[in-house]
Chains A and B, each alone.
Chain A
Amino acid sequence: MNRDPFIEGDPASATSQFKVNLSGRYKIDRIFEIATWAAVCISLLVLAALVVDVLVDGLPRLNWSFLTSFPSRKPEEAGILPAFAGTLWVMVIIAVLSFPLGVGAGIFLEEFSQDNWLARTIEININNLAGVPSIIYGLLGLQVFVRIFEPVTGGRSVLSGALTLVLLVLPIIIVATREALRSIPDSLRLAGFALGATRWQVVREQILPLALPGILTGTILALSRAIGETAPLITIGALTFIPYLPDNLQSPFTTLPIQVYNWVSRPQKEFHDTAAAGIIVLMVVLLLMNATAVFLRNKFQKRF
């Protein structure tokens, strides 16, 4: 037996009701440590391989004129400017619309609504909506925003695209907001109510400031998902070749992932390298957004 020998007079050893078996338990510990470590390594390796591959193909194409040029039939002259501008337009509209709507809905569901069948139905539906494939939202956007609301949105416009993606990210923001609010201990709400605060005073003064880092992180992660979406935008008919920049909400537009998708699907090898350069731009924007999320979280959490 691999018994630990240094504790004499252990009453359990006399009756031997316990098989301590330390070495065996440590062995299992070790096996799982290695297994989890291997899981980390494999995922990092895959990611590293992808990044290296993209960088090798794309970096030589990446220069100032690539960022400031319009698409072209000639791969060496093709640029990313309209797609970059389109992505900025879309992201700003999404952020402006989805943040107040999503956070507001989250606050209502978590802090104000009664726990009845209606609230539970809404909750189940929102959780399900967060998992609906994005192409479905594309079809909805095509019918509702492009066709029915054409007088407002101007059809296949940057506004229609952004509204479609707002639908896509809203459930994610609502769920993130609720999680953030739920993580604030109830004792603080009770303390607020016991001082004669109304519900909104408790939420605004005590709960929201504490939940804000989590809400912001969730929102930016949702926006990060929106920035990479291609399928719903193609469904509503975002153009893949536009030689001008969007200048109002009803302008036709394209976005980075659509542009990349367009270049990849061309036969010429040179366009594939151009696509890689586009992916680098997309990744940098994405990393910047995630960095903002981390920055905001740290900034707001430092207060106490």
Chain B
Amino acid sequence: MISDFSDPAQLTNTAVLKAENVNVYYGSNLAVRDVSLDIPRNKVVAFIGPSGCGKSTILRCFNRMNDLIPGARVDGTITFHDRNLYSKALDPVEIRRRIGMVFQKPNPFPKSIYENIAFGARINGYQGDMDELVESSLRKAAIWEEVKDKLKESGLALSGGQQQRLCIARAIAISPEVILMDEPCSALDPISTLRVEELIHELKQQYTIVIVTHNMQQASRVSDLTAFYNAEATEKGNKIGYLVEYDNTQSIFHNPQQQATQDYVSGRFG
């Protein structure tokens, strides 16, 4: 059931996250309209589309980071293991532990590499051996060999690519189920990008990953499924994003159903 996603109807069975008719507003402006999609377990889902199409906005709905933006409002339903993510019964702080996030610009804390990993575990009441957790997280993020002799040094002393892998290690240290990545490679050079992509391949054995990217080669390299978003301008001049097409990555790139998708992935616009 998990292996074949050629039939999108099958996705629902293993969906970790499910969005149904989601609209996101900033103040009184509709930013994204009517998005419905399922994120299946242990898959990499890529969100692609032109700037302003709402792919990052939808991503931030999944761990309720939009709550932190004044005036942001989400309606429609987003479920996490079939429980409403926005119900009063679920706490955003607990949600964010189970649904981690990696940001566009590497943002390690200006503390030691060790502390960067330990912080999330400590605040979430981790009871195990901290040294072990730090090592295993750094190993999983494929950065252990590079930093094992300088755990006490500042995370900011690392290169951009290493910082981003440190941020990934920090995210997986608190055992999330889902990792949301918001253009994680856009500030990295091609070699660092490649290493992060290899890492994503390994991580999907254990985690469900949603990645926003502007790089279509990246989407085709790392993802199992791809969602293409587009934006339309309103009369007032702001943009409203919407989901055009969501299918497995092969289909999106080689046999898209929508003309807009075809135009975008072949580089004819955007």
Interface residues of B in 61-86 (CB under 8 A from A): 63, 65, 68, 70
CB distance from B74 to the nearest CB of A (A): 16
Q: Would A205 and B63 be within 8 Å (CB), given that A188-B107, A191-B103, A196-B93 are in contact?
A: no
- Report whether B103 and A190 are in contact in the complex, using a CB–CB cutoff of 8 Å: yes
Chain B residues with CB under 8 Å of A198's CB are 93, 123
- Report whether B123 and A201 are in contact in the complex, using a CB–CB cutoff of 8 Å: yes
Q: In terms of DSSP, what is the predominant structure of the interface of chain A?
A: helix
Chain A residues with CB under 8 Å of B123's CB are 195-198, 201, 205
- Report whether B103 and A193 are in contact in the complex, using a CB–CB cutoff of 8 Å: no
Task: Mark interface residues in B83-102 (1 if CB within 8 Å of A CB, else 0).
Answer: 00000000001101100110
Chosen A-B contacts, 18 in total, with CB atoms closer than 8 Å, are A190-B103, A191-B107, A191-B108, A191-B109, A192-B109, A193-B65, A194-B100, A194-B101, A195-B119, A195-B120, A195-B171, A196-B93, A196-B94, A196-B123, A196-B124, A197-B123, A206-B109, A304-B110
Closest to B71 in A: A115
> Is A187 among interface residues, defined by CB-CB distance under 8 A?
yes
CB distance from B90 to the nearest CB of A (A): 13
Task: Mark interface residues in A65-88 (1 if CB within 8 Å of B CB, else 0).
Answer: 000000000000000000000000
Query: In whole angstroms, how far apart are the Cα atoms of A201 and B105 in the complex?
Result: 22
Chain A residues with CB under 8 Å of B96's CB are 193-196
Interface size on B, residues (CB 8 A): 27
CB distance from B125 to the nearest CB of A (A): 10
- Report whether B68 and A193 are in contact in the complex, using a CB–CB cutoff of 8 Å: yes
Task: Mark interface residues in B165-203 (1 if CB within 8 Å of A CB, else 0).
Answer: 001001100100000000000000000000000000000
Chain B residues with CB under 8 Å of A187's CB are 103, 105, 107
Query: In whole angstroms, how far apart are the Cα atoms of A192 and B100 in the complex?
Result: 11
- Report whether B70 and A115 are in contact in the complex, using a CB–CB cutoff of 8 Å: yes
CB distance from A209 to the nearest CB of B (A): 9
Query: In whole angstroms, how far apart are the Cα atoms of A299 and B110 in the complex?
Result: 16
> Is B111 among interface residues, defined by CB-CB distance under 8 A?
yes
Closest to B68 in A: A193
Q: Would A304 and B105 be within 8 Å (CB), given that A194-B65, A194-B171, A210-B110 are in contact?
A: no
